[in-house]
Amino acid sequence: MDEDSRFEAVRSRDARFDGAFFFGVRTTGIYCRPSCPALTPKRRNVRFFATAAAAQGSGFRACRRCRPDAVPGSADWNVRADVVGRAVRLIGDGVVDREGVAGLAARLGYSARQVQRQLTAELGAGPVALARAQRAHTARVLTQTTELPITEIAFASGFASVRQFNDTIRAVYAATPSELRAAAPQRDLRTATPAATGIPLRLAHRGPYRAGPVFDLLAAEAVAGVDEVTGAPGRRVHRRTLRLPHGTGVAAVHERARTSRAAPGAHPGGWLDARLHLTDPRDLTTAVQRLRRLFDLDADPWAVDERLGADPRLAPLVAARPGLRSPGAADPDELAVRALVGPAVAGRLVRAHGKPLDTPHGGLTHLFPEPAVLAEALPHGTLGALTAALADGRLRLDPGADRDSAEAALLAVPGMDAATAATVRTRALGDPDVAPPGTDLPDSWRPWRSYALHHLRAAGELETP
C-alpha cells in the first residue's frame, strides 16, 4: 500500500488493516490503529509506521481510545519464511527478553548487526525496540488485570529495572503505572470464583472468525490430562496445560467469538475471551503468543477468502464458512509427537512420562512429556528417533525455524512418512501453504493451500488426517 491508500483506510476506519500498519498524528503526538473511532486527522498531519515500535520510537504515545497495542499481529509473519518473518515470530515468543539480541541472531544464523539492519529497514525498528513495545503491552495487561505489586510487574514484563519500566509506560501510554491501574475496571477478588481468577484476556483477531471447526479439531485430538474441550457447541471452552520458559500455565479459551464495534461500512474484527493461570507472570507474553498461533488469530481472512473464493470449486465453501482458520500449535515439539502417534498413544505417554502439575485444574493434570524424557524412556523406533532429534537440536520447530530445513530434518527421521511431516509443517511451523502428498492442489490456491484443505475437510470432501 502507498501512503494515499493507507490514508483512505484510516479515513474509512477499515479494521482490515489493524496491525498491518499504524499512523501517528503530529499535532497530538498520538499513534492509532487504522480503525480508530476518533475524528480523522488532516492528511498533512499523519505519519505512517509499519509497527507500533516504530511509532513509539518516533515519540508517539498510544491512543487511549483504540488501544493500538492490542491489535492482531500482521498476517505477513504467518506467510513469510525469510529472516524478518522468523525474527518477528521469535521476538513475539519472548526470545529477546530471555536471550538478548545475540540469542535471537544465533537462532536465525545471522550476526546481530545483520538482524538489526534488516528489521530496521523493513519495520522501522530493531529487535530491542520491538521487544520493548511488547513489554509495554504485557505490563499494561498485568497492571490492569491483576493485583500484582507494580514492582513485580516491572520485572515480570521483562524490564531490567523499575525506572526503565516507569519511563516506558509514561512514554507509551502518557500515564504512570498507578494511573493505568486506576483507569482499569475494578473487580472484587474477595468474591471471585476460582474460575474467575487468573489473568483475563481478549485475544484479538481481524475479520470474521469461524470458531466451530477449530474447536471441533481440538476436541477430536484432545489428550486426557493435557487438554480438553467442554461445553455445548457454540459455547465450548478449550483448556490446556502449557510448558513455559519460567514455569507452567493453564489456559482456557472460549469458542464464542465476540465482535468489536466498528463504524458503518468498516470491517470489524473481534476477540476470543481467554484466561491464563501462570506460575510465573514473566511467561505472559510467551503464553499469549502460543495461544495466538494455536488459534491462528493473526491471519488475514479477507486475503485468504479473496484468493480461494475466486476458484469455482472453493467459492461455495468459502461463502459458507468465511473466516475459516488453519490452527497451529501451542507447543510445536508436542504437536510433532502427537501427529506421529495419535491421541490414544499420546494419552498413554502422558500417563507414563508426563510431569504432573503442582496443582491440577479439573481434568488437566499433566504437562506433555518433554522430548528428552521420551527419547530416554523410549529410544527405539520412529518415536525414539523423532524425540532424540528434537532433544539434541537436529530438528528445530520453534517459531524462528526455517520451514524447509525443518521438513528435511523431519523426513530424515527413520520411519517418518511425508503425510506426518506435512501435518507438522502446517501445524507446528504455521505454514499457510502446505500441500500434503497425494493431494492435487492448483497453484492458483497459493499461498493459502493449508486453508483450502481445511475448507475441503469441513465440507466432507477430504478426510482429516
Catalytic residues: 32, 440
Please answer whether residues 208 and 269 qualify as being in contact, where contact means their C-beta atoms are separated by less than 8 angstroms: no
**Which of the 8 DSSP states describes residue 18?**
B
Q: If residue 384 lies in a helix (H) or strand (E), which one and from where to where?
A: helix 381-392
**Which of the 8 DSSP states describes residue 75?**
T
Can you read off the three cell numbers belonging to residue 59? 515519540
Burial class for 193, CB neighbours closer than 10 Å (0-12, 13-18, 19+): exposed
CA distance 150 to 294: 30
Q: If residue 177 lies in a helix (H) or strand (E), which one and from where to where?
A: helix 177-183
CA distance 392 to 372: 8
Three-state secondary structure call for residue 425: helix
Computed on alpha carbons and rounded to an integer, the radius of gyration of the chain in Å comes to 22
Please answer whether residues 270 and 209 qualify as being in contact, where contact means their C-beta atoms are separated by less than 8 angstroms: yes
CB atoms < 10 A from the CB of 221, how many? Answer: 18
What single letter denotes the amino acid at residue 429?
L
**Which of the 8 DSSP states describes residue 21?**
B
CA distance 105 to 93: 14
Residue whose entry in the numeric block shows the C-alpha cell 461455495: 316
Measured in whole angstroms, the distance separating CA 191 from the mean position of its chain's CA atoms is: 32
Residue whose entry in the numeric block shows the C-alpha cell 500515564: 175
DSSP string, 293-359: HHHTTT--HHHHHHHHHTSTTTHHHHHHSTTB-----SSHHHHHHHHHHHHHHHHHHHHHHPEEEEE
CB-based contacts of 46, cutoff 8 Å, min separation 6: 7, 10, 23, 24, 25, 26
55 strand-pairing partners = none
Residue whose entry in the numeric block shows the C-alpha cell 488493516: 17
Please answer whether residues 433 and 441 qualify as being in contact, where contact means their C-beta atoms are separated by less than 8 angstroms: no
> Which is it for the CA torsion 46, 49, 53, 54, positive or negative?
negative
Please answer whether residues 269 and 204 qualify as being in contact, where contact means their C-beta atoms are separated by less than 8 angstroms: yes
